[in-house]
Amino acid sequence: MKIGAGTVTWAFNNASLETALQEIATTGIKYIDIIGMLHGDPDTMTQRKKQACNHIIADNGLVISSILAVRPGTNIATIDQAARRRCKDYFLKIIELCDYFDAKEICFMAGHNEIGSEPDTAWKQAIEFSNWIADACAASGLYATYELEWRTCGIVQSVPQLLNMIRDVNRNNVLSNIDIGHAGLARDSLEAMKQVGSKTIHLHMNDNDTNQHTNAIPGEGCVPIQDYVQALIDGGMLTFSESIGHTIVAGIEVEDVSGSSIPPLDLITKSRDWILQHIPAIEL
Protein backbone atom coordinates (compact mmCIF):
# COMPACT_ATOMS: atom_id res chain seq x y z
CA MET A 1 0.00 0.00 0.00
CA LYS A 2 1.46 3.33 -1.10
CA ILE A 3 1.23 6.67 0.62
CA GLY A 4 -0.26 9.46 -1.45
CA ALA A 5 -1.15 13.12 -1.10
CA GLY A 6 -4.23 15.08 -2.08
CA THR A 7 -3.98 18.43 -3.81
CA VAL A 8 -6.96 19.59 -1.72
CA THR A 9 -4.48 20.84 0.91
CA TRP A 10 -3.20 23.37 -1.63
CA ALA A 11 -6.56 24.05 -3.26
CA PHE A 12 -8.03 25.26 0.03
CA ASN A 13 -4.97 27.47 0.44
CA ASN A 14 -5.63 29.11 -2.95
CA ALA A 15 -2.50 27.57 -4.45
CA SER A 16 -2.31 26.32 -8.03
CA LEU A 17 -2.34 22.68 -9.07
CA GLU A 18 1.14 23.17 -10.51
CA THR A 19 2.41 24.35 -7.13
CA ALA A 20 0.77 21.40 -5.39
CA LEU A 21 2.40 18.89 -7.72
CA GLN A 22 5.81 20.52 -7.44
CA GLU A 23 5.74 20.65 -3.65
CA ILE A 24 4.41 17.12 -3.24
CA ALA A 25 7.27 15.90 -5.41
CA THR A 26 9.76 17.22 -2.83
CA THR A 27 8.31 14.92 -0.13
CA GLY A 28 9.15 11.64 -1.86
CA ILE A 29 5.44 10.90 -2.27
CA LYS A 30 4.65 9.70 -5.80
CA TYR A 31 0.89 9.10 -5.78
CA ILE A 32 -1.44 12.08 -6.15
CA ASP A 33 -5.18 12.57 -5.65
CA ILE A 34 -6.37 15.63 -7.59
CA ILE A 35 -9.43 17.42 -6.27
CA GLY A 36 -11.87 18.14 -9.10
CA MET A 37 -12.78 21.64 -7.93
CA LEU A 38 -10.96 24.95 -7.42
CA HIS A 39 -7.53 24.41 -9.03
CA GLY A 40 -8.64 21.02 -10.39
CA ASP A 41 -12.04 22.04 -11.75
CA PRO A 42 -12.35 20.64 -15.29
CA ASP A 43 -14.27 23.73 -16.41
CA THR A 44 -11.25 25.94 -15.72
CA MET A 45 -8.52 23.44 -16.63
CA THR A 46 -7.07 24.91 -19.80
CA GLN A 47 -5.01 22.87 -22.24
CA ARG A 48 -1.93 24.90 -21.32
CA LYS A 49 -2.48 24.16 -17.63
CA LYS A 50 -2.95 20.45 -18.30
CA GLN A 51 0.24 20.36 -20.31
CA ALA A 52 2.18 22.18 -17.59
CA CYS A 53 0.92 19.71 -14.99
CA ASN A 54 1.81 16.76 -17.19
CA HIS A 55 5.36 18.04 -17.52
CA ILE A 56 5.68 18.21 -13.73
CA ILE A 57 4.20 14.73 -13.38
CA ALA A 58 6.57 13.23 -15.95
CA ASP A 59 9.67 15.06 -14.69
CA ASN A 60 9.12 13.86 -11.12
CA GLY A 61 7.79 10.34 -11.74
CA LEU A 62 4.43 11.15 -10.19
CA VAL A 63 1.30 9.03 -10.59
CA ILE A 64 -2.23 10.46 -10.55
CA SER A 65 -4.08 7.82 -8.56
CA SER A 66 -7.54 9.40 -8.52
CA ILE A 67 -9.55 12.52 -9.25
CA LEU A 68 -12.22 13.57 -6.77
CA ALA A 69 -15.57 14.52 -8.31
CA VAL A 70 -16.67 16.57 -5.31
CA ARG A 71 -17.46 20.04 -6.67
CA PRO A 72 -20.10 21.82 -4.53
CA GLY A 73 -23.57 21.34 -5.98
CA THR A 74 -22.79 17.86 -7.25
CA ASN A 75 -25.65 15.76 -5.88
CA ILE A 76 -26.22 12.51 -7.75
CA ALA A 77 -29.32 11.82 -5.62
CA THR A 78 -31.17 14.94 -6.71
CA ILE A 79 -34.62 14.68 -8.29
CA ASP A 80 -34.04 17.88 -10.28
CA GLN A 81 -33.52 16.77 -13.87
CA ALA A 82 -31.58 19.88 -14.91
CA ALA A 83 -29.26 19.38 -11.93
CA ARG A 84 -28.78 15.73 -12.92
CA ARG A 85 -27.78 16.78 -16.43
CA ARG A 86 -25.24 19.20 -14.96
CA CYS A 87 -23.89 16.39 -12.77
CA LYS A 88 -23.48 14.12 -15.79
CA ASP A 89 -21.65 16.84 -17.68
CA TYR A 90 -19.31 17.35 -14.72
CA PHE A 91 -18.60 13.63 -14.34
CA LEU A 92 -17.86 13.26 -18.04
CA LYS A 93 -15.33 16.08 -17.77
CA ILE A 94 -13.75 14.42 -14.70
CA ILE A 95 -13.45 11.17 -16.67
CA GLU A 96 -11.78 13.09 -19.50
CA LEU A 97 -9.28 14.45 -16.98
CA CYS A 98 -8.65 10.91 -15.72
CA ASP A 99 -7.94 9.84 -19.28
CA TYR A 100 -5.59 12.78 -19.81
CA PHE A 101 -3.62 12.22 -16.59
CA ASP A 102 -3.85 8.41 -16.77
CA ALA A 103 -5.66 8.21 -13.42
CA LYS A 104 -7.23 4.89 -12.44
CA GLU A 105 -10.14 6.04 -10.26
CA ILE A 106 -12.71 8.71 -9.71
CA CYS A 107 -13.92 9.32 -6.17
CA PHE A 108 -17.42 10.61 -5.50
CA MET A 109 -20.14 10.78 -2.89
CA ALA A 110 -23.52 9.08 -3.10
CA GLY A 111 -25.42 12.32 -2.73
CA HIS A 112 -27.64 13.84 -0.10
CA ASN A 113 -31.26 14.16 0.83
CA GLU A 114 -33.09 17.26 -0.36
CA ILE A 115 -35.94 19.06 1.32
CA GLY A 116 -39.13 17.78 -0.28
CA SER A 117 -37.63 14.48 -1.38
CA GLU A 118 -38.14 11.23 0.49
CA PRO A 119 -35.01 9.29 1.56
CA ASP A 120 -36.11 6.23 -0.43
CA THR A 121 -36.37 8.37 -3.54
CA ALA A 122 -32.90 9.85 -3.00
CA TRP A 123 -31.48 6.34 -2.57
CA LYS A 124 -33.05 5.14 -5.83
CA GLN A 125 -31.84 8.22 -7.68
CA ALA A 126 -28.30 7.65 -6.36
CA ILE A 127 -28.35 4.02 -7.51
CA GLU A 128 -29.57 4.99 -10.97
CA PHE A 129 -26.88 7.65 -11.32
CA SER A 130 -24.21 5.32 -9.93
CA ASN A 131 -25.01 2.78 -12.64
CA TRP A 132 -24.57 5.52 -15.23
CA ILE A 133 -21.22 6.44 -13.63
CA ALA A 134 -20.20 2.76 -13.67
CA ASP A 135 -20.86 2.53 -17.40
CA ALA A 136 -19.08 5.80 -18.16
CA CYS A 137 -16.06 4.77 -16.09
CA ALA A 138 -15.95 1.25 -17.53
CA ALA A 139 -15.61 2.71 -21.02
CA SER A 140 -12.34 4.31 -19.86
CA GLY A 141 -11.18 1.40 -17.70
CA LEU A 142 -11.77 3.35 -14.47
CA TYR A 143 -12.90 2.38 -11.01
CA ALA A 144 -15.53 4.55 -9.32
CA THR A 145 -15.21 4.73 -5.55
CA TYR A 146 -17.70 6.02 -3.02
CA GLU A 147 -16.45 8.23 -0.21
CA LEU A 148 -18.35 8.53 3.06
CA GLU A 149 -20.30 11.77 3.35
CA TRP A 150 -19.52 13.75 6.51
CA ARG A 151 -22.55 16.05 6.30
CA THR A 152 -25.70 14.94 8.10
CA CYS A 153 -27.80 15.24 4.92
CA GLY A 154 -25.70 12.60 3.18
CA ILE A 155 -27.38 9.31 2.32
CA VAL A 156 -24.14 7.36 2.82
CA GLN A 157 -22.58 8.52 6.08
CA SER A 158 -21.41 5.21 7.55
CA VAL A 159 -19.75 2.02 6.38
CA PRO A 160 -22.92 -0.11 6.70
CA GLN A 161 -24.75 2.37 4.45
CA LEU A 162 -21.79 2.29 2.05
CA LEU A 163 -21.93 -1.49 1.88
CA ASN A 164 -25.66 -1.36 1.16
CA MET A 165 -25.09 1.10 -1.67
CA ILE A 166 -22.34 -1.02 -3.24
CA ARG A 167 -24.59 -4.09 -2.93
CA ASP A 168 -27.56 -2.34 -4.54
CA VAL A 169 -25.49 -0.96 -7.43
CA ASN A 170 -23.72 -4.32 -7.86
CA ARG A 171 -21.14 -3.30 -10.45
CA ASN A 172 -17.61 -4.69 -10.49
CA ASN A 173 -15.98 -1.29 -10.93
CA VAL A 174 -17.94 0.49 -8.17
CA LEU A 175 -16.05 0.12 -4.91
CA SER A 176 -15.05 1.96 -1.75
CA ASN A 177 -12.70 4.78 -0.83
CA ILE A 178 -12.60 4.89 2.97
CA ASP A 179 -11.96 8.34 4.40
CA ILE A 180 -10.59 7.38 7.80
CA GLY A 181 -11.60 10.66 9.43
CA HIS A 182 -15.15 10.46 8.09
CA ALA A 183 -15.45 6.92 9.44
CA GLY A 184 -14.41 8.22 12.84
CA LEU A 185 -17.12 10.88 12.76
CA ALA A 186 -19.65 8.15 11.90
CA ARG A 187 -18.38 6.05 14.83
CA ASP A 188 -17.91 3.12 12.47
CA SER A 189 -16.91 -0.09 14.23
CA LEU A 190 -13.84 -2.21 13.55
CA GLU A 191 -16.16 -5.02 12.50
CA ALA A 192 -17.73 -2.74 9.88
CA MET A 193 -14.24 -1.94 8.60
CA LYS A 194 -13.49 -5.64 8.26
CA GLN A 195 -16.69 -6.10 6.27
CA VAL A 196 -15.81 -3.36 3.78
CA GLY A 197 -12.15 -4.39 3.47
CA SER A 198 -12.66 -6.53 0.38
CA LYS A 199 -14.52 -3.68 -1.34
CA THR A 200 -11.92 -0.99 -0.62
CA ILE A 201 -9.22 0.15 -3.05
CA HIS A 202 -8.32 3.62 -1.74
CA LEU A 203 -7.99 5.47 1.56
CA HIS A 204 -8.06 9.10 2.62
CA MET A 205 -5.84 9.67 5.62
CA ASN A 206 -6.76 12.34 8.14
CA ASP A 207 -7.91 12.78 11.72
CA ASN A 208 -10.81 14.59 13.39
CA ASP A 209 -11.83 15.59 16.86
CA THR A 210 -14.86 14.00 18.47
CA ASN A 211 -17.59 15.81 16.54
CA GLN A 212 -15.99 18.28 14.12
CA HIS A 213 -14.91 17.63 10.54
CA THR A 214 -11.41 19.11 10.72
CA ASN A 215 -9.31 16.98 8.33
CA ALA A 216 -6.52 17.18 10.89
CA ILE A 217 -3.01 15.77 10.65
CA PRO A 218 -3.12 12.04 11.56
CA GLY A 219 -2.36 11.53 15.22
CA GLU A 220 -3.70 14.93 16.28
CA GLY A 221 -7.32 13.86 16.77
CA CYS A 222 -9.23 10.97 18.29
CA VAL A 223 -9.87 8.66 15.32
CA PRO A 224 -8.46 5.12 15.80
CA ILE A 225 -6.51 5.33 12.56
CA GLN A 226 -4.17 2.39 13.10
CA ASP A 227 -7.00 0.11 14.23
CA TYR A 228 -9.17 1.11 11.27
CA VAL A 229 -6.42 0.41 8.73
CA GLN A 230 -5.61 -2.93 10.34
CA ALA A 231 -9.29 -3.91 10.32
CA LEU A 232 -9.49 -3.11 6.60
CA ILE A 233 -6.42 -5.27 6.00
CA ASP A 234 -7.88 -8.07 8.12
CA GLY A 235 -11.03 -7.81 6.01
CA GLY A 236 -9.12 -8.52 2.81
CA MET A 237 -8.28 -5.08 1.44
CA LEU A 238 -4.75 -5.93 0.32
CA THR A 239 -5.68 -9.38 -0.93
CA PHE A 240 -8.52 -7.98 -3.01
CA SER A 241 -6.40 -5.23 -4.54
CA GLU A 242 -3.74 -7.75 -5.51
CA SER A 243 -6.38 -9.95 -7.13
CA ILE A 244 -7.43 -7.12 -9.46
CA GLY A 245 -3.90 -5.81 -10.02
CA HIS A 246 -4.62 -2.47 -8.36
CA THR A 247 -2.30 -0.41 -6.15
CA ILE A 248 -4.02 0.83 -3.01
CA VAL A 249 -3.15 4.42 -2.23
CA ALA A 250 -3.53 5.92 1.23
CA GLY A 251 -3.85 9.55 0.23
CA ILE A 252 -3.23 12.26 2.80
CA GLU A 253 -6.17 14.67 2.84
CA VAL A 254 -5.63 17.34 5.47
CA GLU A 255 -6.41 21.01 5.97
CA ASP A 256 -5.36 23.82 8.26
CA VAL A 257 -8.51 24.80 10.15
CA SER A 258 -6.60 26.31 13.08
CA GLY A 259 -6.25 29.73 11.51
CA SER A 260 -2.51 29.61 12.10
CA SER A 261 -1.63 29.59 8.38
CA ILE A 262 0.36 26.34 8.36
CA PRO A 263 1.85 25.93 4.87
CA PRO A 264 0.38 23.01 2.87
CA LEU A 265 3.80 21.38 2.49
CA ASP A 266 4.25 21.30 6.28
CA LEU A 267 0.82 19.71 6.74
CA ILE A 268 1.65 16.97 4.24
CA THR A 269 5.15 16.38 5.61
CA LYS A 270 3.93 16.01 9.19
CA SER A 271 1.17 13.68 8.06
CA ARG A 272 3.60 11.61 5.98
CA ASP A 273 5.99 11.22 8.89
CA TRP A 274 3.26 10.10 11.31
CA ILE A 275 1.76 7.60 8.86
CA LEU A 276 5.08 6.01 7.92
CA GLN A 277 6.06 5.73 11.58
CA HIS A 278 2.80 4.28 12.88
CA ILE A 279 1.38 2.21 10.00
CA PRO A 280 4.01 -0.20 8.61
CA ALA A 281 1.66 -1.44 5.87
CA ILE A 282 1.88 1.98 4.20
CA GLU A 283 5.11 2.89 2.40
CA LEU A 284 6.51 5.52 0.06
26 contacts: CB under 8 Å, gap ≥ 6: 265
In the prediction, which pLDDT does 212 show?
81
Q: 71: number of CA atoms within 13 Å, CB side?
A: 20
pLDDT at 221: 93
Tell me, what's the pLDDT at 256?
86
The 10s digit of each residue's pLDDT in 184-243 is 999 999 999 999 999 999 999 999 987 788 899 999 999 999 999 999 999 999 999 999
| Strand 174-179 to 200-205 pairing | parallel
> Mind listing the pLDDT tens digit for each residue in 142-158?
999 999 988 889 999 99
Confidence at residue 269, expressed as pLDDT on a 0 to 100 scale: 98
- Per-residue DSSP letters for 9-66? HHHTTT--HHHHHHHHHTTT--EEEEESSGGG-TTT--HHHHHHHHHHHHHHT-EEEE
Which amino acid is located at 167 in the chain? R
Ranges in the chain, pLDDT < 50: none
Pair 217, 231: CB distance under 8 Å: no
